[in-house]
Amino acid sequence: MISKKENFRKGEEVFLENEEKDLNEELHESEQVVEEKENSEYEELNDRFKRLLAEFENYKKRSQKEKENIYGMITGDVVATMLPIMDNLEKAAEAKTEDSGYQEGVRLVARQFQDALKRLGLEEIETIGQRFNPEYHEAVSHIEDPNKGEQEIVQEYRKGYRIGNKVVRHSMVIVAN
């Protein structure tokens, strides 16, 4: 016969086993909830991090472009102020004089000045024989010439220059037809 004490113990063991199972299930459920929450927080933080990183990369690219644009603008402005000096040196080099040494010296200085501006990226805009383009040329006169094409540049009054795609000074030209 099973005594009341043994019966009580078995009931107590069953109760404790059931209680332990319930606690283990609750613990397991709690661990899953915590893990899901940690995963969602991790995903959220990871997403924020990726967005911040992308924004920072875009900021660096924008800053670099702005620096390049500012450098180009400043270079263009400085070169534009020097172009009349170059024009005058070229005129002085072409002027007639009896002192050929002096004339050659002026030519060398003009060439040196042109080379310095070319190192800054200055390029001459092509004109004679080209089609008129208002982005690069400024028409000061118009002539009719049946031997020339439509909107063809036939003469240049003043040279035009650009640095990259930016026009520093438009060419002053005469356009035919």
Q: What is the pLDDT of residues 106-137, one digit of tens each?
A: 999 999 999 999 999 999 999 999 999 999 99
Q: What is 124-177's CATH superfamily?
A: Head domain of nucleotide exchange factor GrpE (2.30.22.10)
The full set of domain ranges for the chain reads 124-177
Label residue 91 by pLDDT band (50, 70, 90): very high
Q: Of 117, 108, 70, 74, which Cα lies nearest the Cα of 89?
A: 108
Q: What is the pLDDT of residues 144-163, one digit of tens each?
A: 998 898 999 999 999 999 99
Whole-angstrom Cα distance, residue 13 to residue 5?
12
Spell out the SS3 assignment of 46-84: HHHHHHHHHHHHHHHHHHHHHHHHHHHHHHHHHHHHHHH
Q: What is the pLDDT of residues 8-17, one digit of tens each?
A: 777 777 788 8
pTM of structure? 0.64
Share of the chain above pLDDT 90, in %: 69
Label residue 164 by pLDDT band (50, 70, 90): confident
pLDDT of residue 1: 56
Tokens at 56, concatenated: 């920072």
